[in-house]
Structure 1
């Protein structure tokens, strides 16, 4: 072997050794010398579009992952090879929302819960929620699909709801129909992953257009890690899960289903009509001709009924063809609460109080006002009316389908709905 080849081999081996050393060091020491909840400065120096970072900025008071920078630099896993823009943000125009849901009339601007009083109660409540979750995750007599698998067994495609903010050391698992639009807005503000028309990061969550909030390119999620870290992606996920603050918000499962039905089938939505309403009407409405467009369907009064929607959920063919849509997929399938130890569990039923407590805990409560909640939030008191036309045996089967979400997150069994 020539001296030049030997030298190249030594360089490669030395580099690999350094990578492994840094990963092991980071895993053991981690971020002990960093404050994961440091507020970002409002006077950060301006960046050009090509220089502004998505999730790993280099300003002095930000949470920076040395491993991220080292691996990005060594492997060049940024925008040039991965397709994921790890060092750039998307410049989007600031424009008014076209959705009526985004107008002030749709919000409740009532006073938010303050934490000067009742902090101890909030802490105790969190302990109860987390203890309940751990208890049933560890209970061998309580089982549900995928409960026993490890984190490594979860496919990357099922980790797409875990949004990462490296600037503050936060991971948020979003659950559709549980204030996720507003929490996604908050994550965009914290991570500075989008710029407004003037080229500055958004500072007011409510100013971010709804269509940009739900654009997958607006967020760094776990399922994108393989593009940045390659074979180290799963290890990096575990490091961040260990070091970062992890939270989610949940909701009464049956009320969430009602909300999903109202949102996706009672409002004109072309995509949901073609993807879900047409199959539901074709299978369960006894119609020979189903309108091909949502406009035609609504003009003729052709919409899926709530019983037809429940029948669709209970039909074994639904899951065989493709997994549940995220708006009615179970929380345990979206957020993997038995594989990920969450630090905070919020509930929509106590959204204002839980949000205020969480933002203060993260030390970001002074940076912005959390967007106000909707006035006409689907109420749990409506359940009996909505389920009145659903056969009792269907209700009981539906409960079994969502039982894990009821039990894990401490929602009582709805005996009045189940006829027991």
Structure 2
């Protein structure tokens, strides 16, 4: 049943949602109904925001006029307020960039968007931002019920592209329909912390593929090592690996992207998910992963069927940045920031002034924290 018929939502200037009927036939009816049900529960709030403009007034109106049994669906929880703030910040930040239309995005540019027709979901996965577990979630959701425990799904399975349906696999008209009607989400992370995580995962730990594809060349170019070991195993056993400073030099070197884009583990998030071209319904942050995951599953009405697994380890946080960047020359830090600046701006991450300030060349950890917060 439609809780809020269109005739009751006649707020001037408010955007109107399209009906299920304009979905192409190939979009499963169950997914279309699921997507529209989600909109029905949130459309009143969204329309009121457009018409009222005052969140506090909107909240009071909802609390006094919406029946108690509907409060959970339309009232703004703390998590929902944060979501609205993140989306509003993103929309404002996008005004300062050159926005491309979805039609302009090529198939390779859409290869990180996974489609779940069964539940009406599109997920843009970002490496080093809990993407393995979110892929596990989507993989499990397409199994028969009762769903298996997410933790039993081996990580190798979900990193095989054939395990999922990608948005780029559909004709353009069907892409548009899914982007319009499905719930679209992504998870992001402090850009510099994400880089550190990628470096640790691919170069500090043993990884033969990344050593052969990237590590050897990095050692040759920036490590003053013309003949590094040919295999990751030999390099690992000898204690030879690119330093974080070498990795930064590789990233800021203009030659790096002359033949191909950054590898996805360190490619900018806006180049993976195109948040100024695609209007995401949910923006999760790794820093609040568990809370955001619970809220998203609840929003998708999947919280009673599946749960997001807790993080297995404590990730690097912003307070540890200085430990990693203190060996990197100031000029290189500034060049690196310019490469990832748009990610900082779009997703509301604070500019790391302490790393980019001239005074940040010889700091203790305590001084680094103080300077960063002071800025």
Q: Deviations over 1:332-367 (max 9, x none)?
A: 000000000000000000001111111101000111
Structure ranking higher in helix proportion? 2
Partner residue of 2:114 out of 148, 159, 163: 163
Write the distance in 1 (CA, Å) between the matches of 2:155 and 2:192: 25
Partner residue of 2:101 out of 150, 160, 165: 150
The answer to whether structure 1 residue 290 and structure 2 residue 235 are counterparts is no
Write the distance in 2 (CA, Å) between the matches of 1:180 and 1:404: 21
Write the distance in 1 (CA, Å) between the matches of 2:92 and 2:107: 27
Partner residue of 1:214 out of 159, 164, 167: 159
Look up the match of 1:339: 277
Write the distance in 2 (CA, Å) between the matches of 1:396 and 1:214: 33
Aligned length: 302
Q: Deviations over 1:292-337 (max 9, x none)?
A: 0011101111100000000000011100021100000000000000
Write the distance in 1 (CA, Å) between the matches of 2:136 and 2:215: 29
Look up the match of 2:33: 34
Write the distance in 2 (CA, Å) between the matches of 1:119 and 1:189: 29
Matched residue SS, 1:389: coil
The answer to whether structure 1 residue 264 and structure 2 residue 264 are counterparts is no
Which sections of structure 1, spanning at least 5 residues, go unmatched?
Answer: 1-22, 40-114, 226-232
1:82-101 to structure 2, matched below 5 A, reads: none
1:227-306 to structure 2, matched below 5 A, reads: 233-306=171-244
1:13-412 to structure 2, matched below 5 A, reads: 25-26=22-23, 34-36=33-35, 120-139=77-96, 143=97, 147-192=98-143, 203-225=148-170, 233-412=171-350
Write the distance in 1 (CA, Å) between the matches of 2:84 and 2:223: 47
Q: Deviations over 1:364-402 (max 9, x none)?
A: 011122111022212221101100011111111111100
Look up the match of 1:57: none
Counterpart contact for 1:280–1:312, Cα < 8 Å: yes
Write the distance in 2 (CA, Å) between the matches of 1:172 and 1:418: 33
Q: Deviations over 1:92-119 (max 9, x none)?
A: xxxxxxxxxxxxxxxxxxxxxxx99x96
Which stretch of the first structure deviates more once superposed, 377-386 or 161-170? 377-386
Of structures 1 and 2, the one with the larger relative CO (CA 8 A, separation 6+) is 1
Counterpart contact for 2:212–2:232, Cα < 8 Å: yes
Write the distance in 2 (CA, Å) between the matches of 1:290 and 1:25: 58
Write the distance in 2 (CA, Å) between the matches of 1:391 and 1:419: 12
Write the distance in 2 (CA, Å) between the matches of 1:187 and 1:333: 22
Counterpart contact for 2:147–2:306, Cα < 8 Å: no
Taking a change above 3 Å as real, the CA distance of residues 27 and 218 of structure 1, as seen in their structure-2 partners, is: closer
Q: Deviations over 1:52-81 (max 9, x none)?
A: xxxxxxxxxxxxxxxxxxxxxxxxxxxxxx
Taking a change above 3 Å as real, the CA distance of residues 131 and 25 of structure 1, as seen in their structure-2 partners, is: closer
Taking a change above 3 Å as real, the CA distance of residues 33 and 211 of structure 1, as seen in their structure-2 partners, is: closer
TM-score using structure 1 length: 0.68
Write the distance in 1 (CA, Å) between the matches of 2:85 and 2:21: 34
Which sections of structure 2, spanning at least 5 residues, go unmatched?
Answer: 1-19, 39-71, 359-375
Counterpart contact for 1:150–1:339, Cα < 8 Å: yes
